[in-house]
Structure 1
């Protein structure tokens, strides 16, 4: 007999579930094995190329091994510490008893005999330690793989012992995360898995790592992951895929606010459901993103007014999902060789590159395109009760026509985003945050560091002192308080205006009635 709590069952189910373990069918699967060794419980599960173990503490000592259907955890998990008793009725049958809101519950399950199951891998004796980012790197690498493993093992992750890197590719994109010292020198292949991104696994602590003849082993807190080494598949030579940095002809530099603006807009642009989800990136006097649906006569164009580029003008066609992924990884620079070569993002130990689409399909500039333009952020430095509130987004017509600058014609619609407000003091005038300088080679602008994604972790500015942080927090609190008070006064004024307007309308209606009565008399 083994006794655990409902809370412990809930913690186990956070990882031991079909979706996390990559089980996509609803058919029969191996059971979860519970091994009680005194006051320690080992919960073990093995499926295809993955084996995982979790250790728990038991309130009462026991020496028993039981098999339990994986889906049974969902029936008796809970948020309290009430007891769950598991007992074998026979070699192939188990009973589970617990209490739910004071009501006793009992379930019986048919299970295979424990001695018929495939043995669990034996952990190694020696371990090395990897930094906390290893699970994040494995998770991002799993998002870069492909199930199409006909020619190459594109459903695998390569653990490169020499350079200490985690690498993955699906034939269209390539990700390399470095900075890891593996206790081996060769390149090992392991299968991708959703397990690496599971929130039930700690992602904020260092991870011991080792290997056996058959498995790469990671120990993450109470969890131990056994990743079966794949020896049959071939893997591409990644060093031949990434272009040399010296071959870069154009470098796009994205402002952090433009990157956020672009990330929010990409999946809303037309053509998102089309094959390859294409968008056109054009750097020719300004930074423009264009998209057009198959059933649309007009293209939609995003102009990133806060961003710039250096080098030769270029127009290329790319998958918007891959462009968006570069933004999500935190990159602010994209190196471009030409319209047919891979685009490359580099930042410290992280490299991401992807192959553009056919350049013949790129959308050319058009005078009748619908134009959506981000505007340079402004920093209001004079904050008082008399300061007028920020204006809403402006929608107007423009009559500019400059083909070199890719501006719209008479019928184009300009939609400018609301300026970013960042109050910093109480005495100076408003000044622009960024300026774009035009030249024959393109545009340059001030670049902000990324604030999210893996690439952002190695490029953060030094933290300010505690006193400065407290002062900044107090200033922000005062600014928000003032803004709330002003908003309240504005709401009151608007309500008064509405009541006044209704009164005027009512009075005018009464006067019209009186005038009609006088005429009738």
Structure 2
């Protein structure tokens, strides 16, 4: 018999669903409970991902496997005891609901063969999980061109790379105990896993699996040996190759994040905006039923050649959310790019024929000057806008 708490399943079940991308049709996916001296391991896997959580619990005997769908019927928000036992007729959950005993029978499933841990791994800093999330957000799982649903892990230099064909990101400065490139399918669970600041993060690999290990969970991603990945490095120039640099003031970065999504045209295909660095620094947008609205970035500066180009607003917003405060331009057609010591981000521009020129009739909204930025930001926060 195994003993644990209903709240453990309330915590683990959505993570299993995210990691294995489980849908109602996959509710019979086996979830295995393994007793150990450190607690209970809760495991599940498919052809691309295996994931294991350590939860508070106790027990002895052989592992017990039940369908994923049964967990929703026995989980709970409270720290209430739950028992799981194997019988001759199958598996049985027992718990109490407002003091009334409850019983649920679940089919006994055969545990799948579990992947091994690597012989060696490398500790990494707190940025690893953030980097995995950002890389996963830059993939296209539906693409049939190359393997755009994969993340590339480069052992030399400890670099992650991802692209969906319209944007690409490089994240470096990590430690991987292999040489060469390894591809693995992106995993949605990266956005849900959490780590304490002091938690160790280890990365290793076996012949067929990449392995990410933290104190309370371990994740295996199947290596795609035959997959092909595009040469994203060639699409991200050196900083010195830029003709123009937009230096965003911190107040203007905040202004963009608050205002950009509300500009007209957000429902249009590619959500176009015009970035205009001719004289003032401005961002413009319109749709078929509205006049031009222009955001003027009062405290930001252009260095280099004047330029006007058309971009998908989502990529500008993402660059700012990533913390980049310099946007680099090479003319009006080449992709825009950003660089810092550990990261690079690039995205393709839209056709210049969609650019909006300066219009005296435009609705113009200027960001506050640097001197009043703090007061303005506090006012915006307090008003909830």
State whether TM-score is above 0.5: yes
Cα RMSD of the aligned pairs, angstroms, is 2.0
Taking the TM superposition and a 5 Å limit, the aligned residue runs for 1:288-327 are 288-296=282-290, 298-327=291-320
Select which of 194, 202, 209 maps to 2:203.
209
Aligned to 1:375: 368
> Given the superposition, is the C-alpha separation of residues 308 and 7 from structure 1 closer, same or farther in structure 2, using an over 3 Å criterion?
same
Is the aligned partner of 1:104 residue 2:101?
yes
Aligned to 2:61: 63
- Structure 2 CA distance for aligned equivalents of residues 211 and 7 of structure 1: 32
Contact residue 250 and residue 309 of structure 1 kept, 8 A: yes
Residue 369 of structure 1: CA displacement? 1.1
Aligned to 2:236: 242
TM-score by length of 2: 0.92
TM-score by length of 1: 0.69
Aligned to 2:380: none
Residue 299 of structure 1: CA displacement? 0.8
> Given the superposition, is the C-alpha separation of residues 29 and 352 from structure 1 closer, same or farther in structure 2, using an over 3 Å criterion?
farther
Residue 194 of structure 1: CA displacement? 1.3
Deviations 1:436-455 (CA, angstroms, capped at 9, x unpaired): xxxxxxxxxxxxxxxxxxxx
Tell me the SS of whatever aligns to 1:4: strand
Q: Work out which of the two has the higher radius of gyration on C-alpha atoms and give 1 or 2.
A: 1
- Structure 2 CA distance for aligned equivalents of residues 119 and 129 of structure 1: 27
Aligned to 2:30: 31
Tell me the SS of whatever aligns to 2:334: coil
Aligned to 2:114: 120
Which structure carries more relative contact order (alpha carbon 8 Å, separation 6+)? 2
- Structure 1 CA distance for aligned equivalents of residues 192 and 285 of structure 2: 35
- Structure 2 CA distance for aligned equivalents of residues 28 and 76 of structure 1: 14
Residue 207 of structure 1: CA displacement? 0.7
Deviations 1:374-421 (CA, angstroms, capped at 9, x unpaired): 131336xxxxxxxxxxxxxxxxxxxxxxxxxxxxxxxxxxxxxxx642
Aligned to 1:7: 7
- Structure 2 CA distance for aligned equivalents of residues 336 and 200 of structure 1: 36
Aligned to 2:330: 337
Aligned to 2:382: none
Aligned to 2:339: 346
Is the aligned partner of 1:356 residue 2:353?
no
Contact residue 129 and residue 209 of structure 1 kept, 8 A: yes
Contact residue 141 and residue 167 of structure 1 kept, 8 A: yes
Deviations 1:28-79 (CA, angstroms, capped at 9, x unpaired): 44110112245642211002300011223434x4112211222332332234
Tell me the SS of whatever aligns to 1:140: helix
Select which of 71, 74, 77 maps to 1:76.
74
> Given the superposition, is the C-alpha separation of residues 211 and 144 from structure 1 closer, same or farther in structure 2, using an over 3 Å criterion?
same
> Given the superposition, is the C-alpha separation of residues 312 and 39 from structure 1 closer, same or farther in structure 2, using an over 3 Å criterion?
closer
Tell me the SS of whatever aligns to 1:15: helix
Deviations 1:179-230 (CA, angstroms, capped at 9, x unpaired): 1021001100011111111145557633112110000111111211111101
Taking the TM superposition and a 5 Å limit, the aligned residue runs for 1:494-505 are none
Aligned to 1:286: 280
Contact residue 377 and residue 421 of structure 1 kept, 8 A: no
Contact residue 284 and residue 314 of structure 1 kept, 8 A: yes
Tell me the SS of whatever aligns to 1:325: helix
Select which of 321, 328, 351 maps to 2:321.
328
Contact residue 202 and residue 221 of structure 1 kept, 8 A: no
Deviations 1:218-277 (CA, angstroms, capped at 9, x unpaired): 111121111110112210012211123222110001111111111111111000010000
> Given the superposition, is the C-alpha separation of residues 378 and 151 from structure 1 closer, same or farther in structure 2, using an over 3 Å criterion?
closer
Aligned to 2:255: 261
> Given the superposition, is the C-alpha separation of residues 38 and 220 from structure 1 closer, same or farther in structure 2, using an over 3 Å criterion?
closer
- Structure 1 CA distance for aligned equivalents of residues 341 and 38 of structure 2: 46
- Indicate the larger mover: 207-216 or 24-33: 24-33
- Indicate the larger mover: 177-186 or 2-11: 2-11
Large movers: runs of 4+ above 6 Å? none
Tell me the SS of whatever aligns to 2:114: coil
Residue ranges of structure 2 left out of the alignment (5+ in a row) = 377-385
- Structure 2 CA distance for aligned equivalents of residues 76 and 343 of structure 1: 51
Contact residue 191 and residue 230 of structure 1 kept, 8 A: yes
Between the two proteins, the alignment pairs up a number of residues equal to 376
> Given the superposition, is the C-alpha separation of residues 365 and 225 from structure 1 closer, same or farther in structure 2, using an over 3 Å criterion?
same
Contact residue 204 and residue 211 of structure 2 kept, 8 A: yes
Residue 125 of structure 1: CA displacement? 2.8
Residue 350 of structure 1: CA displacement? 1.0
- Structure 2 CA distance for aligned equivalents of residues 350 and 284 of structure 1: 28
Contact residue 122 and residue 202 of structure 2 kept, 8 A: yes
Select which of 252, 264, 267 maps to 2:246.
252
> Given the superposition, is the C-alpha separation of residues 295 and 228 from structure 1 closer, same or farther in structure 2, using an over 3 Å criterion?
same
Aligned to 1:421: 375
